[in-house]
Amino acid sequence: MDVIEAIERIPDPIVVDKARKAVQVLRRVCALYPLDKIAFSFNGGKDSTVLLHLLRAAVAGGAEAQGLGGIQSFYFRKADDFEEVKEFVESSDTQYGLQVEYLAEQDFKRGLCDYLSRTGVMAIVLGTRRGDPNAGGQDVFCPSSEGWPPFMRVNPILDWTYHDVWAFLRATHVPYCNLYDHGYTSLGGIGNTLPNIALQRPDGSHAPAYHLADGRLERAGRVKAGQAGSCNGGPGGGGELTRSAAIVVVGDELLSGKVEDVNARFLCKELRSMGWQVARVVFVPDASNEVASAVRALSAMVEVVLTAGGIGPTLDDVTMQARAEGRSQGIGIALAVGQPLVRHPAMVSRLAAYFGGEGALTPAHLKMAELPTGAELIDYVVPETGQPSSFPIAKVNNIYVLPGVPALLVQKWRALKPKLEDPAVAPFLNATLRLSVTDETTIAPALHRVASAHGLDVSLGSYPVAEGVIITLDSKNNQSLQAAIQEIQELLPSDSVVTLERNVDSLERAGGARR
C-alpha cells in the first residue's frame, strides 16, 4: 500500500494529523537542505521505524519507491546490540533500499564528528520524543548543543506519545523489530534492557508492547548496569501484571450535555478495582462511522474495549448498524472489525421468545439481532428473576458491547466482570493526603522529587479542592507506596497534612468537590 494512503487510513484522527504534520516537517527539511546533506539516524527502534516510513512518505511517496531520495542513512553498531535489532536494520535496509552506512563501534560523539566531517551532513533526522532522556529543551528544529559539531537536529515526532507510535505502526501494518512482540517496550542494549514487567503474564511470557496500558511505563524495562533482573515495573510495580482496557461511550445526548454520563465513571472504577488500567475513555456521537473509527483504533491498542450505548432498535442506535428510510447509513463495530453484519439466529430465537413468537418480530426488533459475523453471545442469569436473560452480552473479538441504560449496563457488567477477573492481576492501592495549602506551587518541588524517586512504581496526582489540595498516590506495590507516602510527608510544608487515608475510591469523599 502507498505510504500516504496507509497514513490516511489510520483510524485515529489525532495520529493522522500528527503524521501529516511530521511529513510536512520532513518536506520542509528537504526544501531547506540538499538531500545528500540530510541524514537519517536509523537504530531499529519503534520511533525510528515510524520515522523511516514518514520519510518515505515525504520523499519517496509510496511503497514501491526505493531509497529516501538521496537522503543518507546511518547506524552505529554497538557490541551489546540485540541480534534482533541488527537483523531488523539490515532487513529494512534491503527492503527499502536505504543504503545504510554501518558505522563501527566507538565513542558516539567522536564517531558522529567523524561522520559529519566526512559526509558534510548538515541536518540529522531523529526519532526523539518528549520524555526521552535526551529530549529536554529540544524543539522540532533544534541546533546541536555547544561542544558538538554544528548540525540541525530534526525531531518530526517530538510530540508523539507511546500510544501514537503504536497506533501508527499497527494501523499501517509496517514491519517492526520482533522484540516488541515479546514484551520489550524500549530498546537499549542487552545489558540494560529487559521485557517490561508490566506486560508479564502468569506463565512468565510477556504481552506485546502495544498492550502496555500506561505509556508512562514505557522505559520500565530499562535498567541500570548491574540491576538486570531487579526491575520493579511501575504502578504495576514489583512484578504485578496490569491489564489494559478502553471505553467507548456512544450518544448525542451526552455530547450535547442533555444527559450526564455515569457509565464511564462506573466502568472506570470497576476496572480499577480489578487492577486494570483504563487507557482511554472516548465519547462519540450517534454516527456509526465515528463508532467504527474509535473502536478500531482502541481495539488495536488495548486488551479489551467496552462500548456503552447505541444498541437498541431506534434510529440513533448505531453501535452495530443504523438505517433511515431503508438506506444503510454505515456499520459501526462490524466496520471496525472488517466483518459483515448478519442476523444472528440465536438472537432471533431469544427475541422471538421474549416478544411472543417470530411472527411478532418487527424490523425494529430484528435490528437488535444483527451482529458482525463471528460474534459471540455471552449468556447470563438475571439475579432478580433467576432466569437466563433474553438479551445476552455480545462479544466481537476483544470488544464487549454493553447497553447505555445505566441499570442495564450494571446488570450486564456484573455478569461480565467474573470473566475479566484475573487472579494474577493485583489490585491498585492508594493513599490520599488532604492538605491545608491552597497554592499548588508550594508543593510542586516535593511532588517532582517523589515522582523522580518512585515514578516507575507510584503514580502521583495533585488536585485543588475546596479549602486545600488533595495529593493521591497509586501503586500495586505496597512497599513502594509506603516509602513514597513517608517521603512526601517529610518534604511537604510543616503541618500541611490535614488527613491521610488509604484506599479511597472517591476524591469527593476524600476532600470535597474540585474547584
**Could you tell me if residue 215 is inside a domain?**
no
DSSP 300-356: TTSSEEEEES--SSSTT--SSEEEETTEEEEESHHHHHT--EEE-HHHHHHHHHHHT
pLDDT at 321: 47
Beta-bridge partner residues of 244: 277
Across the chain, what does the average pLDDT equal?
84
Specify the higher pLDDT residue, 408 or 297: 408
- The DSSP 8-state label assigned to residue 206 in this structure reads B
β-bridge mates for residue 429, sequence order: 475
Phi, psi of 262 (to 5 degrees): -125, -15
For residue 471 the three cell numbers come to: 495529593
Q: CATH code at 471?
A: 3.30.70.260
15, 37: one domain = yes
Give the C-alpha separation, 382 to 389, whole Å. 6
Neighbour tally for 505: CB within 10 Å: 11
Whether pTM exceeds 0.85:
no
Q: What is the pLDDT of residues 81-131, one digit of tens each?
A: 999 999 999 999 999 999 999 998 767 788 889 999 999 999 999 999 987
Pair 26, 129 in one domain: yes
pLDDT of residue 222: 74
65 lies in some domain = yes
Q: Which residues pair with 284 in a beta bridge?
A: 250
**So what's the pLDDT on residue 281?**
94
Is there a domain that residue 211 lies in?
A: no
457 in the same domain as 356:
no
Q: Which phi and psi (to 5°) does residue 412 adopt?
A: -70, -35
Over residues 28-81, the pLDDT tens digits come to: 999 999 999 999 999 999 999 999 999 999 986 554 567 898 999 999 988 889
445 and 362 in a common domain: no
How many structural domains comprise the chain? 3
248 and 117, same domain (yes or no): no
List 193's β-bridge partners, or say none: 222
Assess if residue 69 is contained within a domain. Answer: yes
Determine the Cα–Cα distance for residues 110 and 409; give it in Å rounded to an integer.
62
Cell of 172: 499501517
Residues 416 and 436 in one domain: no
Which domain-ending residue is among 385, 420, 455?
420
Does one domain contain both 279 and 368? yes
Domain at 59, CATH number: 3.40.50.620
Q: How far apart are CA 85 and CA 193, in angstroms?
A: 13
* Within a domain: 218: no
- 397 and 507 assigned to the same domain: no
> What is residue 1's predicted lDDT score, i.e. its pLDDT?
55
409 in the same domain as 458: no
- Domain that includes residue 493, residue range: 429-511
Mean pLDDT of 11-36: 93
CB-side exposure of 83: number of CA atoms within 13 Å? 0
Q: Clarify whether residues 408 and 461 are in a common domain.
A: no
Closest CA to 499 of 463, 469, 466, 459: 469
Cα angle, residue 210 at apex, residues 208 and 214 outer, rounded to 5°: 115
Among the three residues 350, 385, 420, which one is the final residue of a domain in this structure?
420
pLDDT more than 70, % of the chain? 89
Q: Is residue 231 part of a domain?
A: no
User: Is there a single domain that holds both residue 318 and residue 294?
Assistant: yes
The verdict on residue 170 lying in a domain is no
- Give the end of a domain, one of 113, 134, 162: 162
